[in-house]
């Protein structure tokens, strides 16, 4: 079992990495790109047979406290 956590900068937060990559893509000739946002991807291995609902609750807590900073980041958690 795996938990996948995608962390992205909040809309209001300056994302200079995203902006730089966006302009590089434009320079390379890729058109139609209106925004690039760079975040983090965290993969967590869970022991086989882990209760999905309990893991969801625990990892939401962990994502809020440690894995993301709610002041500047949003996160999405998936368990599969």
Positions in the binding site for another protein (CB under 8 A): 9, 12-14, 16-17, 20, 66-67, 69, 71-72
* Percent helix / strand / coil, the chain, rounded to 5: 35, 25, 40
Closer Cβ to another protein, 30 or 64, answer by number: 64
DSSP class of residue 6?
A: E
**Shortest approach of another protein to residue 5 CB, angstroms?**
11
Q: How far is the CB of 39 from another protein (least distance, A)?
A: 12
Specify burial of residue 59 (Cβ count, 10 A radius: 0-12, 13-18, 19+).
buried
Q: In terms of CB distance, is 21 or 46 closer to another protein?
A: 21
């Amino acid at each position: 079992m795996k938990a996948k956590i995608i962390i992205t900068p909040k809309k209001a937060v300056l994302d200079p990495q995203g902006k730089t990559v966006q302009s590089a893509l434009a320079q390379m000739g890729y058109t139609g790109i209106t925004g690039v946002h760079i975040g983090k991807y965290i993969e967590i291995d869970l022991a086989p047979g882990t209760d999905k609902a309990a893991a969801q609750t625990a990892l939401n807590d962990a994502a809020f406290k440690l894995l993301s900073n709610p002041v500047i980041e949003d996160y999405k958690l998936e368990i599969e």
